[in-house]
Amino acid sequence: MSARTGLDETSADGEFKRTDAAWRSTISKEPGSMFPPEKDRYHLYVAHACPWAHRTLMARALKGLEDVISITVVMPIWQRTNPKDEHIGWMFADHSSSGNNVVTNSAGLGGPFPASYPSNEADPIFNARSVREIYENVNDKDGKYTVPILFDKKLKTIVSNESSEIIQMLNSEFDEYASCAEVDLEPEDMKEAMAAVDSWIYPSLNNGVYKCGFAHTQEAYNAAIDELTAAFDRAEDILSTQRFIAGKRFTLSDIRLFVTLLRFDEVYVVYFKTNTRSVANSSVLLNYCRDIYQMARVAETVDMHQIKEHYFCSHPDLNKLSIVPRGPNFERMLKERHNRDDLGIKRPKISVSDDEKSPPPSEASVVSSI
């Protein structure tokens, strides 16, 4: 088994070919389940930068599972994980006085960047230095050391590293403990519509940006950007007549779409060459993103600084000196008033403590239940 990253998953014709996640067990309330839902049993390893991990942070927040499932946020810039090979990957923060105060990119260039941030932590389970070590501690045979990881602290093993399945578990299996159990992000009567939009959101948008950015030939890039552009326009057309991507209610499908659109202008337009379109230039998609960003607890899951620092500083082959573009300050745009209220009122009602309450940028912060 050789350690690898997504950058290594390219076909002979230069097309980026993402491989499936290897750990696919399920937390279930069914009798006899190996992984039953329990409070304080499970842990999420995530990165603010990673859109797949961001899905899980949003689902956890919207369901009110912060006191049920603990998290560790890894550092944004990939580093060498083992001196015996060339693998680079996610690292844990080093807050010790003996740790390095700054880091560069894996080629020794760029920065210097902080070796830790207040929101990034050391590994609480194995005291691992890298996410790779988490996988090695559970005898992983796949060799692709990704986040998110849903980890069982009781059995000391990985439950799942497939984000699309983790968010379904967070939505349905922990209602006994969730502070927002009434929020259903995958309602039964919307599953068919959700499946229909998910079938093209993932390959053409979520993964589509990577197919553009990691293409190794002009032909592969041309095919990827055509597919991405068509999907962007398709989402814009749908959302011009309905509030959310699968209908009138906010669902997991919106989480899947939002995490890509959030990163689109600041990162993908520049870094992955997706410059045929821009969210800021689409009134429909910009206001859609504002609507979601302004939901209670969502903004707290967004760290644009770490998003940009990861992408622009983790791949020396794509950005040798790790210079981070200033960008359009897209997150500032998301704080402005949106115009989506007249397209429907079905947003999840998220209870918030008095400490969390702040003056809303629009009436949409006062939401009705699903």
Catalytic residue numbers read 50, 210
**Between β-strands 70-73 and 157-160, what pairing exists: parallel, antiparallel or unpaired?**
unpaired
Q: Cα separations (Å) of 213 from 264, 311, 317, 338?
A: 12, 11, 12, 30
Q: How many residues does the chain have?
A: 370
- Of 173, 145, 182, nearest to 69 by C-alpha is 173
Tell me how far apart the 2 most distant CA atoms of the chain are, in Å.
58
- Of 186, 192, 288, 271, nearest to 232 by C-alpha is 288
349-354's contacts with Cβ under 8 Å and 24+ in sequence apart are: 349/180, 349/182, 349/183, 350/62, 350/64, 350/180, 350/183, 350/295, 350/296, 350/297, 351/64, 351/179, 351/180, 352/296, 352/297
Give one word for 190, left, alpha or beta, with left for phi > 0 and alpha for psi -120 to 50.
alpha
Q: Cα separations (Å) of 272 from 174, 221, 225, 311?
A: 37, 10, 10, 10
Beta strands in 13-169 (DSSP E): 42-46, 70-73, 79-80, 88-89, 102-103, 113-114, 149-152, 157-160
